[in-house]
Amino acid sequence: MNESALYSSTRGQISPVPFREAVLMGLATDGGLLLPNRIPDVEARLDSWRELPYPALAAAVMRPFIDDSIDDGVLDSLVQRSYATFTAPDVVPIRAVGDVHICELFHGPTLAFKDIALQFLGNLFEHLLAETDSSLNIVGATSGDTGSAAIEGVRGRANMHIFIMHPHGRVSPVQERQMTSVLDKNVHNIAVKGTFDDGQRVLKEIFNDISFKDQFRLGAVNSVNWARVLAQIVYYFHATFRVQESTGAERVQVAVPTGNFGDIFAGYVARRMGAPISRLILATNENDILARFFNTGVYQRGTVEPTLSPSMDIQVASNFERYLYYRVGCDGANVRALMSTFQETGRFELERGDSGFVAGRGTTADTLATIRKYHQEYGYLLDPHTAVGVAIGERFLSGSEPTVCLATAHPAKFGAAITEAVGEDIARHPIIDGLLDLPTRCVVLPAEKDAVQTFMRETLAG
Ligand SMILES: *Cc1c(COP(=O)(O)O)cnc(C)c1O
């Protein structure tokens, strides 16, 4: 059996499950996150992967993690369809700008990097459900980007409905329109009267109602789903190959604007597989629990502070547990002990440092100054999340190794921050400009489990 296509929990208390189950399960039943039993070493294959177009590279990178129940032809078709929705010919273009190489991950339907994983996840779910003629109702709560990317991934698909809650009147007009202007019959937007935390609470209550969960076959698309990490590993190889080609460098370093540790964890896996990445540069905004951890060894919760890069306003990073598992010697009991200490005290401490990472924190002032500098000196507009990564990437430039900076959103999604930085609203994209004229559909409900469940019942019965 291929151990890379069998999945175990970071907490060590489930029997290994195949890929299909790992994807449909989301969180493991022992509360941990799923990881492949073995990370494949692909160094011998790198040269044969170098010239592959993005979708073919995606199939090659994902192949070892997926068992024979999905054959090569099906996998090819899944990745081809997932990346045909991207508007850039190369899917993920790389541009040399100033001292760095910007890897543009935002050419998908919602203009944020989450499309890379969620377009694939939508196709994958559809395939897995069709195989067994079963159905899935995806439920999620969002404060912004994830909701629209999940909706775009699932819209119009067979055997699936998606219900996304957002806090009524508390997401940006662009984000609200990106969700509510999707009119497909299987897409259901719920504006919850309350805050994002109220939505999260209702979501938890719905998933904890086991009889409802089973009767309605609820599924999640949150960032702990292994298939999302898997799809993100691909662009680390892609960016490395392209930058090696243009610079002749042997290895590169990659700067990643980080929130939930999902994106950078994919980079960690790519590096362990043998991608020629010397180190990962972890960048946070003021919500810097992860930067503090890599610089001091202390993992300690703080309070969430709103910033110009809202998708990184996170204190407890759900994917961090995957990294922790490798840090403590792949020992589930160790992970359980640390997570329970964290649960009880809000803190734990490990030995400082990991030679594969450096880390820094970019403030609001750094974000604005970086957007301004790239606009003035290079005529290139960075979105505020990308700007945090670039600001920290510049702090760690290396003489011999080029620096790749992952660009996680198109600047037009965050027009207010761009205006604040450069004095004019110059970040435009036709998708965003067209949004305000589109018809929308959305229900407004109280932040109560019963109200949301009743709406789901009636919608699915009708
Ligand atoms: C989600 C998101 C991030 C953070 O990614 P993680 O995987 O949570 O670390 C950064 N930038 C943008 C634009 C995002 O939407």
Q: What are 429-454's pLDDT values in tens digits?
A: 999 999 988 999 999 999 999 999 99
The pLDDT-based confidence of 318 (bands split at 50, 70, 90) is: confident
CB-based burial label for 54 (10 Å; 0-12, 13-18, 19+): buried
Q: How confident is the model at residue 195 (pLDDT cuts 50, 70, 90)?
A: confident
Query: Above 90 in pLDDT, residue 378?
Result: yes
Alpha-carbon distance of 429 to 436, in angstroms, equals: 13
Helix (H, G, I), strand (E, B) or coil at 311: helix
How far apart CA 198 and CA 219 sit, in angstroms, is 20
User: How far apart are alpha carbons 286 and 447 in whole angstroms?
Assistant: 29
pLDDT tens-digit profile of 386-419? 999 999 999 999 989 999 999 999 999 999 999 9
In the three-class reduction of DSSP (H, G, I as helix; E, B as strand; rest coil), residue 136 is classed as: strand
362 alpha carbon to ligand 1 midpoint, in Å? 15
SS3 state of residue 254: strand
Average pLDDT over residues 221-230: 90
Considering only CA atoms, which residue is closest to atom 2 of ligand 1?
Answer: 311
Neighbours of 21 (CB within 10 A): 14
pLDDT of residue 33 exceeding 90? yes
Nearest CA to ligand 1 atom 8: 260
Which atom number of ligand 1 is nearest to the Cα of residue 385?
Answer: 11
172: pLDDT strictly greater than 90: no
310 Cα: distance to centroid of ligand 1 (angstroms): 9
CA dihedral 15, 19, 25, 30 (to 10 degrees): 30
Residue nearest to atom 4 of ligand 1 (CA): 259
Pocket test for ligand 1, best of 105, 311, 322, 405 (most atoms within 8 A of CB): 311
Q: How many CB atoms lie within 10 A of CB 454?
A: 12
Residue 390's closest CA among 212, 221, 256, 251?
A: 256
Segments in 297-435 forming alpha helices (H)? 320-327, 332-345, 364-378, 384-395, 415-422, 430-435
Residue 74 has pLDDT above 80, yes or no: yes
Question: Is residue 181 over pLDDT 80?
Answer: yes
User: Which of 442, 418, 448 lies closest to 163, judged by CA?
Assistant: 442
* 262 in contact with ligand 1, CB cutoff 6 A: yes
**Res. 224: pLDDT tops 90:** no
Q: Give pLDDT tens digits for 151-165.
A: 999 999 999 999 999
User: Looking at the predicted structure, is the pLDDT value of residue 143 above 80?
Assistant: no
Q: Is the pLDDT of residue 1 over 80?
A: no
- Tally Cβ neighbours within 10 Å of residue 448: 16
pLDDT (0 to 100) of residue 97: 98
pLDDT at 228: 95
Tell me what pLDDT residue 326 has.
97
**Closest C-alpha to 150, from 208, 102, 210, 203:** 203
Percent helix, strand and coil across the chain, each to the nearest 5: 50, 15, 35
Of 110-119, 305-314, 349-358, 451-460, minimum mean pLDDT range: 305-314
Predicted confidence at residue 274, as pLDDT, reads: 98
Give mean pLDDT, residues 226-234: 97
Quote the tokens at residue 312. Answer: 């990184």
- The pLDDT score that the predictor gives to residue 48 is 98
pTM exceeds 0.85: yes
Q: Is the CB–ligand 1 distance for residue 409 below 6 Å?
A: yes
For residue 413, the model assigns a pLDDT of: 93
pLDDT of residue 221: 81
How sure is the predictor about 92, in pLDDT bands with cuts at 50, 70 and 90? Answer: very high
Structural domains in the chain plus CATH codes: 94-109+227-431 (3.40.50.1100)
- Kindly indicate the confidence band of residue 29, based on its pLDDT and cuts at 50, 70 and 90: confident
Confidence bin at 87 (pLDDT 50/70/90): very high
Distance in angstroms (rounded) separating the CA atoms of residues 402 and 413? 28
CB atoms under 10 Å from CB of 439, counted, come to 7
> Is the CB–ligand 1 distance for residue 261 below 6 Å?
yes
**What pLDDT, in 10s, does the model give residues 106-138?**
999 999 999 999 999 999 999 999 999 999 999
Q: Is the CB of 259 under 6 A from ligand 1?
A: yes
**Residue, of 27 and 151, whose pLDDT is higher:** 151
Over residues 66-84, the mean pLDDT reads: 97
Residue type, 246: S
**Would you name the residues annotated as active-site residues?**
114
| Average model confidence (pLDDT) across the chain | 95
